[in-house]
Chain A
Amino acid sequence: MNAHAPVTAADCGPDIRVERGQRAVFCGLTGIVWLHRKIQDAFFLVVGSRTCAHLIQSAAGVMIFAEPRFATAIIDERDLAGLADMNEELDRVVTRLIERRPDIKLLFLVGSCPSEVIKLDLSRAALRLSQRLSPGVRVLNYSGSGIETTFTEGEDACLDALVPSLPQAESVSNDLLVVGALADVVEDQFARLFSELGIRARFLPARRSGEMPAVARGTPYLLAQPFLTATARALDERGAKRIPAPFPLGAEGTTLWLKAAAEAFGVDPARFETVTAPGRARADRALERYRERLAGKRVFFFPDSQLEVPLARFLSREVGADLVEIGTPYLHRAHLAAELELLPAGTAIVEGQSLDDGLDRCREARPDLTVCGLGLANPLESEGLSTKWSIELLFTPIQGYDQAGDLAELFARPLHRRAKLEV
Chain B
Amino acid sequence: MQLTVWTYEGPPHIGAMRVATAMEGLHYVLHAPQGDTYADLLFTMIERREKRPPVTYTTFQARDLGGDTALLFKDAVAQAHARFQPQAMIVGASCTAELIQDDPGGLAKALALPIPVIPLELPAYQKKENWGASETFYRLVRALSGPVVERSPREGRRPLCNILGPTALGFRHRDDLIEIRKILEALGIDVNVVAPLGASPADLGRLREADFNVVLYPEIARAAAQHLEKTFRQPFIDIVPIGVGATTRFVEAVAALAGVDPSPVLAGVPSRLPWYSRSVDSTYLTDKRVFIFGDATHALGIARVAAKELGFRIVGLGTYSREFAREVRAEAALHGIEAIIADDYLDVEAAIQAAQPELVLGTQMERHVAKRLGIPCAVISAPVHVQDFPARHSPQMGFEGANVLFDTLVHPLMMGLEEHLLGMFREDPEFHDGAAPSHLGRTHAGPAMEPEAAPPAPAPAPIVVEAAQVTVAPIPTTAPWSADAEKELKKIPFFVRGKARANTERFARERQLPLITLETLYDAKAHFGR
Contacts and interface: CB of A to CB of B under 8 A. Distances in A.
Nearest to B48: A378
Interface stretch (A86-94, A165-173, A242-250, A276-284): A86-94
A117 B35 contact: no
B99 interface: yes
Interface string B1-16: 1111111011101100
Contacts of A389: 457, 459
Interface string B453-474: 0011111011111100111000
Determine the interface band of chain A, counting residues with CB < 8 A from chain B. Answer: 35 or more
Contacts of B38: 26-27, 30, 55, 58-59, 375
B52 interface: yes
B49 interface: yes
A376 B52 contact: yes
A131 interface: no
A74 B61 contact: no
Contact of A66 (B1, B59, B459, B470): B470
B124 to A, nearest CB: 6
B18 interface: no
Nearest to B1: A89
Interface stretch (B39-47, B269-277, B332-340, B405-413): B39-47
Given A49-B96, A77-B125, A27 B458 contact: no
A54 B61 contact: no
B142 to A, nearest CB: 25
A234 interface: no
A184 B76 CA distance: 43
A105 to B, nearest CB: 14
B2 A25 contact: no
Nearest to B452: A184
Nearest to B345: A65
B52 A51 contact: no
A373 interface: yes
A28 to B, nearest CB: 8
Contacts of A53: 4, 7
B61 A147 contact: yes
Contact of A25 (B5, B35, B123, B470): B35
A73 B1 CA distance: 6
Nearest to A396: B455
A255 interface: no
B34 A147 contact: yes
A374 B459 contact: yes
Nearest to B38: A55
B35 A146 contact: yes
B373 interface: no
B365 interface: yes
B34 A75 contact: no
Interface in B30-83: 33-42, 44-45, 48-52, 56-62, 64-65, 76, 79, 83
B458 A51 contact: no
Given A65-B365, A392-B455, A97 B5 contact: no
B181 interface: no
B125 A71 contact: no
Nearest to A60: B456
A230 interface: no
A118 B125 CA distance: 13
Between A58, A73, A381, the greatest number of chain B beta carbons within 10 A of the residue's beta carbon is seen for: A58
B385 interface: yes
A34 B59 CA distance: 24
B506 interface: no
Interface string A355-385: 0100000000000000001111111011000
B40 A54 contact: no
Contacts of A137: none
A396 to B, nearest CB: 6
Determine the interface band of chain B, counting residues with CB < 8 A from chain A. Answer: 35 or more
Contacts of A373: 41
Interface in B404-437: none
A378 B452 CA distance: 26
B513 interface: no
Contact of A55 (B35, B45, B372): B35
A22 B50 contact: no
Interface in A75-99: 75-77, 79-80, 84, 86, 89-90, 92-93, 96-97
Interface in A28-71: 28-30, 33-34, 37, 47, 49-51, 53-55, 57-68, 70-71
A414 interface: no
Nearest to A48: B95
B62 A148 contact: yes
A418 interface: no
Nearest to A50: B11
B96 A74 contact: no
Nearest to A22: B59
A203 to B, nearest CB: 15
B365 A22 contact: no
A97 B125 CA distance: 22
A199 interface: no
Contacts of A396: 455
Interface in A157-187: 183-185
Contacts of A86: 1
A36 B40 CA distance: 25
B368 interface: yes
B9 to A, nearest CB: 8
Given A37-B451, A80-B125, A147-B34, A375 B62 contact: no
Between A29, A93, A117, the greatest number of chain B beta carbons within 10 A of the residue's beta carbon is seen for: A117
A66 to B, nearest CB: 5
A77 B123 contact: yes
B128 A63 contact: no
B407 to A, nearest CB: 24
Nearest to A64: B6
A230 B178 CA distance: 54
A378 B34 contact: no
30 contacts: A23-B59, A25-B35, A27-B34, A30-B38, A57-B6, A60-B458, A62-B385, A64-B5, A65-B6, A65-B372, A65-B465, A68-B5, A70-B5, A72-B4, A80-B125, A93-B1, A93-B2, A113-B95, A113-B96, A146-B59, A146-B61, A147-B34, A150-B35, A356-B83, A374-B44, A375-B37, A375-B41, A375-B52, A392-B457, A396-B455
Chain A to chain B: the 8 pairs with minimum beta-carbon distance, closest first:
A27-B35, A146-B35, A375-B40, A382-B50, A65-B368, A113-B96, A49-B95, A374-B41
